[in-house]
Amino acid sequence: MCGIIGFVGEKEAAPILIDCLKRLEYRGYDSAGMVCIDNNSLIIRKDVGKIEEVDKKVNFSELKGNTGMAHSRWSTHGKTTKENAHPHSDCKDEISVVHNGIIENYSELKEELVKKGHKFSSETDTEVIAHLIEDNYEGCMRGALTKALKKIEGSYALGVISSKKPDKLFAARNESPLVIGLGNNENFISSDVPAILNHTKKVIYLDNKEVAVLTKDNVEIFDLDNNKKDKKIEEIEWNVEQAEKQGYKHYMLKEIFEQPQVITETINGRLKNGDILIKDEIDLSEDEIKKIKRIIIVACGTSWHAALVGEFMLEELAKIPVEVEYASEFRYRDPIIDKDTMVIAISQSGETADTLAALREAKKKGAKIISIVNVKGSSIDRESDSTIYSKAGPEIGVASTKAFTSQLVVLYLITIYFGKIKGLLPKEQIVNRIRDLRKLPLQMQSVLDDKEYIKLHAKKFYKKTNALYLGRGINFPIALEGALKLKEISYIHAEGYPAAEMKHGPIALIDKEMPVIVIATKDNRTYKKVLSNIEEVHSRGGKVIAIETKGDEEVKKIADHNLHIPENSYILTPILAVIPLQLLAYYIADLRNCNVDKPRNLAKAVVVE
C-alpha cells in the first residue's frame, strides 16, 4: 500500500508532485522517489526514509520537466532500500513505473525476462512491469502497457512515463485505487482524491483493468481489449481545508475534535419528523427487509469493532441475528449464505483488500451487499449493491477515529430503519431514539471539552508498558477499540477484554504497574457487575481509570481515576465512551514522542492481504 501521484501539464511537475505526495504519505512511508522527463530523458531520484527526509537528501525540486510521477512506499516485496524504492525502470532507462499493489506472478515473469536478457536492479515485483513494457514495445506505449498488463496477475495502480513519449502519462488499475484528476491544461493520477484537491475537484475513477492515457489537455481511457471507454466525471465535495490539519498538532487530534461536526453531517438529511430517511440509500424493498433472517458483517480492525457494536444494535432493536466476521477469515472459509442472508461490509477507506475480497465472496454466493463506506468511489463502494456513506470527510491520521463514530451512527440508522420496517419499533420509540441521537454532537463536544483533564491522566500513565481495557455488553467492543488505539499509536502493549472474562486469565496480569481502563457507565444490565470487576482489580493493586456516567458517585468511590461521559441511551453510549479513550491514547502517544499520524509499520489503507 503505497501512494502514487503523476502529473502532466504546462507547469514544472516536481513542486506539484512533492505537494501531492506529502498528502499521500499516510499510505506508506518507508521510502520515496520521483521521476521527471527532462529533455527527453528520465531523471530519477529516490531514497529510503520519510518524504521530507528523502527530499532533504535528494532535493526533488531540482528535477525539471512538465511530466513526472512520484511514489511513497510501504514495502511488500523487497527490503526497504534505495534500490527497491520506486520509480523503477527498464534496461535502457526509457520507461519508468510507479506501482501500488502486488504482482503475484512476478517471479515467473522475472525469470522469463531474465532469460531474454533483461537486467534487474531491484528485488521488487514492480520492476517486472517496466521490463515487460519494454519487452512488448513496438512503437506504441499504450499497446505495450496493455500487452504487459495481460500477462500480469495481481493488483496494481500504475503510473508509467516514457522518454519516448514525453508529453504523456499512462495509468492503469486493477484492485488498487487510482483516480484521475482533471485540471486546467494539466492532468493528474493519484492514489486518492485528497492528494490532488489543491489542484482540481474534477475526477474520474479508473475501474479495474482500465488503461488511461493522459496529456495536458486530454484523457482517454481504454479497456484491455482496446475499446475506448466513456467515463463519468465526478465533482468532489470535500474542500482542501477539510483535508488539512487546521492548526492541530496532528491529523488524529483534529479528527477526534471534528467528531461532533461529523456526526451532525452523518445524520444530516437522514432524519425528518421523527423518521429515518435512508430508504433511497438502501437498495432493498420493505418486503426484502422483512425477509432478512440473518446478517453477516465483514470488516477489519476498527471497522470490525464498529461491526461488533452494530451486532448489538441490530439484534436488540431489529431482532435480526448478526454474525460479525473478520473479513480476512471469512474469505477463506466456505461461509453459508442463503437468499435470506444480508451482508454488510464496513470500511473507512473502501479499499481494504480483505474486506473487498470478503464482499466478493459473499456476492458470489448470492448475498446482497450493503456497505458502510467513507470514501465515495472506492472499490467497496462501487462493488456493493448499495452504500450508506459514513460522511466523516477525509480521514488522514492512520488511526481511525471519526470514521469509527460515524460508522456507529450509520449502523444505528440502519437498525432503527429495519426495526421500523419490521414493525418492532413504535413511532413513539423511534421519535425518542432519534431525539437521543440528536443529543450526541453536543454531548461529544462536552467530552472533548475535558481534554486537559484527560491529558493529565495521560501524563500519569504514559511511561507504562502495558494496559488492560475492560467493558461489557455494547461497550466491550469499545474496550477493544481503546486498546487498539493505544497500541497502534503509542506502542504500549494493550488488550481489551469483556470485564467478566478477566477472572478467567487476564487477572493474573494485574499488579500495581498495570493501568486498567474500565468502561463503567451506568445501565440497568451489567453496571453492578462491572463495579465488582473494578473491586477485583483494585484489591490486586491495579490502577483503575473508569469511564463513568457524569454524576455517578458509586464508581468514584472505588476507581482511582474517573473520566466522564454524559448520559444517553445505553445503545448510544459507545459513541461517547470511545472519545476519552481516543484522547487518552493520543496524549499518551504524543507524550512518548511517537509519530501519531504515521505509526510505524502501518498504513491508512491496507490494500494488500
* Alpha-carbon torsion angle 487, 489, 491, 493, nearest 10: -10
Identify any residues that bridge with 466 across adjacent strands, giving them in sequence order. 493
Identify any residues that bridge with 565 across adjacent strands, giving them in sequence order. 549
Instruction: Please confirm, yes or no, whether 2 is among the known catalytic residues.
Output: yes
Residue choice 136, 387, 400, 573 for contact with ligand F6R (CB under 6 A): 400
Residue choice 129, 172, 271, 300 for contact with ligand F6R (CB under 6 A): 300
Q: Does 174 bind ligand F6R (CB under 6 A)?
A: no
Min dist CB 75 to ligand F6R, Å, is 17
* Neighbour tally for 232: CB within 10 Å: 8
Min dist CB 229 to ligand F6R, Å, is 27
Rounded Cα distance, 172 and 21, in Å: 19
Q: Does 162 bind ligand F6R (CB under 6 A)?
A: no
Task: Name which of 248 and 326 has its Cβ closer to ligand F6R.
Answer: 326
Rounded Cα distance, 43 and 479, in Å: 50
504's CB contacts (< 8 A; 6+ apart) are: none
Task: Name which of 260 and 482 has its Cβ closer to ligand F6R.
Answer: 482
Identify any residues that bridge with 182 across adjacent strands, giving them in sequence order. 187
Whole-angstrom CA distances from 254 to 241, 258, 300, 578 are: 11, 6, 23, 16
Instruction: Please confirm, yes or no, whether 550 is among the known catalytic residues.
Output: no
Task: Name which of 172 and 484 has its Cβ closer to ligand F6R.
Answer: 484
Task: Name which of 211 and 403 has its Cβ closer to ligand F6R.
Answer: 403
397: which 3 cell numbers?
A: 491520521
Task: Name which of 186 and 192 has its Cβ closer to ligand F6R.
Answer: 192
| Number of residues engaging ligand F6R in binding (CB under 6 A) | 15
Task: Name which of 206 and 399 has its Cβ closer to ligand F6R.
Answer: 399
Region near ligand F6R per CB under 6 A, out of 88-96, 180-188, 298-306, 418-426? 298-306
* Alpha-carbon torsion angle 316, 318, 320, 321, nearest 10: -20
Rounded Cα distance, 381 and 346, in Å: 10
Residue choice 302, 328, 341, 475 for contact with ligand F6R (CB under 6 A): 302
Q: Does 266 bind ligand F6R (CB under 6 A)?
A: no
Q: Does 494 bind ligand F6R (CB under 6 A)?
A: no
Whole-angstrom CA distances from 586 to 328, 590, 605 are: 28, 6, 20
Residue choice 6, 166, 260, 301 for contact with ligand F6R (CB under 6 A): 301
Min dist CB 606 to ligand F6R, Å, is 5
Min dist CB 318 to ligand F6R, Å, is 23
Rounded Cα distance, 157 and 100, in Å: 5
Q: Does 6 bind ligand F6R (CB under 6 A)?
A: no
Region near ligand F6R per CB under 6 A, out of 149-157, 169-177, 215-223, 346-354? 346-354
Q: Does 349 bind ligand F6R (CB under 6 A)?
A: yes
Q: What are phi and psi of 131, to 5 degrees?
A: -70, -35
484: which 3 cell numbers?
A: 487498539
Region near ligand F6R per CB under 6 A, out of 33-41, 299-307, 428-436, 537-545? 299-307
Region near ligand F6R per CB under 6 A, out of 25-33, 62-70, 188-196, 342-350? 342-350
60's CB contacts (< 8 A; 6+ apart) are: 14, 17, 18, 34, 45, 54, 70
- Return the DSSP state at 154: B
Q: Does 177 bind ligand F6R (CB under 6 A)?
A: no
Rounded Cα distance, 12 and 153, in Å: 35
Task: Name which of 411 and 605 has its Cβ closer to ligand F6R.
Answer: 605
Q: Does 355 bind ligand F6R (CB under 6 A)?
A: yes
Q: Does 352 bind ligand F6R (CB under 6 A)?
A: yes
Min dist CB 190 to ligand F6R, Å, is 17
Helix (H/G/I), strand (E/B), else coil: 281: coil
Identify any residues that bridge with 397 across adjacent strands, giving them in sequence order. none
Q: Point out the catalytic residue in the list 2, 36, 300, 594.
A: 2
Q: Does 31 bind ligand F6R (CB under 6 A)?
A: no
Determine which helix (DSSP H) or strand (DSSP E) holds 9, and give its type and residue range. Answer: strand 3-9
Task: Name which of 155 and 347 has its Cβ closer to ligand F6R.
Answer: 347
Give ∠ CA 91-92-98 in degrees, rounded to 5: 70
Q: Which of 425, 419, 407 is nearest to 575 (CA)?
A: 407
Q: Per-residue x/- mask for ligand F6R, residues 370 to 399, rule CB under 6 A?
A: -----------------------------x
Q: What is the CA radius of gyration of the chain?
A: 25
Q: Which residues bind ligand F6R (CB under 6 A)?
A: 300-303, 347-349, 352, 355, 399-400, 484, 488, 605-606
Q: Active-site residue numbers?
A: 2, 604
